């Protein structure tokens, strides 16, 4: 099933910008639940974002260097049983 993947709340302070730094997974690449699929950064820290489920990255909607917020749809993923 194809689903929208939203940036999870990483517990940053309100107003602090989050930048998508790097995609660890490319479009059409498979991943396993818990694998780091992207890296985001703020002015204070860098975070790896793990895959919530095993699946495949269908479409990247947010590019490296873009500013994002928790809840923004950043990719389309395909998972089984989700």
pLDDT value at residue 30: 96
pLDDT value at residue 10: 85
Instruction: Enumerate residue ranges in the chain where pLDDT < 50.
Output: 82
User: 23 near 48, Cβ under 8 Å?
Assistant: no
**Domain segments of the chain: what residues?**
2-79
pLDDT value at residue 33: 94
Quote the CA–CA distance of 56 and 67 in Å, as a whole number.
Answer: 23
pLDDT value at residue 39: 97
- The CATH number that domain 2-79 falls under is 2.40.50.100
The mean predicted confidence, pLDDT, of the chain is: 92
pLDDT value at residue 14: 63
């Amino acid at each position: 099933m194809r689903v929208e993947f939203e940036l999870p709340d990483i517990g940053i302070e309100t107003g602090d910008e989050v930048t998508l730094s790097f995609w660890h997974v490319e479009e059409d690449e498979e991943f396993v639940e818990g694998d780091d699929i992207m890296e985001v950064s703020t002015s204070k820290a860098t975070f790896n974002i793990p895959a919530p489920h095993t699946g495949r990255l269908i479409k990247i909607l947010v590019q490296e260097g873009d500013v994002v917020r928790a809840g923004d749809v950043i990719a389309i993923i395909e998972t089984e049983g989700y």
